[in-house]
Structure 1
């Protein structure tokens, strides 16, 4: 990614946009802390503080996530919805997550409640973005029933915990990052981080077990190509 040093420099930034985008990519692509990214850059002769990297991640992670959402193909019409508790400062919050039938994250939302109002809010955001699904798979939480019936009346709603293993597995990377980050500090931080992280992870982690070696290399090259295009679109 460093070979594109010819990209225009961002106004007000000391480092080229290719270095900034590399830091954002490394942070989200691997289970790294800002200190780890600082060391990666230092090994390449680039001296930048972890606090600066944190600001880059917060600011430009949103940019890359928006670009990925804009260009992503229409998602699979089968959706899996689930919610998991996250403790922030000793207070319980609920992370609502939706993925499609291919395992790609549609969206996430942090709420203080696990009730019908929160379920309707989250499901309404999804329907607004992607249209009505064909199938909705949830656990046995009754709060989903009325929102699904009201917002996607033609959808086949399957409420069975055993059918939702796919999304249960999608929570694991979040738990891993939570541990690396020393727990999340605020609901806003969780929403900002995961909204970017889940989207970036989607294009750089294709289901390798389903691809031949050649197909995987092509998929990875396409992802890097997209990342360079999105780097070129970065604005100060």
Structure 2
């Protein structure tokens, strides 16, 4: 089974899940002393759905990001965002403004998902090209999603079984 098949199986499962929620946010990233924006979508389980890199933080960028995410992952029941007006304008244009939620602490799921990315960014001593950042973000998301085993929700025996299965899948993918 290849990585694309694993992703397709997960997305088809989640499309049938009624309470599928997304959390959208953007991260400021410096590339050669210029500010760029990495838009990220995380589902209610903490898995990264999509990342999209732009030079701007406006309606056009938010709309492109949301269209790409909706096309690849289907439509969720609720979309949680921060107060950025670009999201509201893009949601209004897509006709999803009734699904949007905005709250002070409602978007903590995606805010906390930025932390491992920031740690790895610091370890790599920043990025020098947009293409390398986009490639890094997408590959890192797939690896993180594959090994995100929700240790805090299951007991040790189940966690060890899932970890062994994930490692076996990974070895099949890379061999």
Alignment TM-score > 0.5, same fold: yes
CA, structure 1 residues 211+231, in 2 after alignment: closer, same or farther (shift >3 Å)?
same
Q: Give the strand-richer structure, 1 or 2.
A: 2
Corresponding residue for 1:200?
143
Secondary structure at the counterpart of residue 140 of structure 1:
coil
Alignment size in residue pairs? 169
Residues 1-236 of structure 1: pairs in structure 2 closer than 5 A: 66=4, 68-73=6-11, 74-75=13-14, 77-151=20-94, 153=96, 156-232=99-175
Structure 1 residues without counterparts, runs of 5 or longer: 1-63
RMSD: 1.8
Determine the C-alpha separation between the residues in 2 that align with 1:222 and 1:110: 32
Report the TM-score when normalising by structure 2: 0.89
Cα deviation digits, residues 146-173 of structure 1 (max 9, x gap): 3223335375211223210111000011
Instruction: Compare CA radii of gyration and give the structure with the larger one.
Output: 1
Of the structure 1 ranges 143-152 and 95-104, higher mean CA displacement relative to structure 2 is found in 143-152
Structure 2 residues without counterparts, runs of 5 or longer: none
Report the TM-score when normalising by structure 1: 0.67
Determine the C-alpha separation between the residues in 1 that align with 2:91 and 2:77: 11
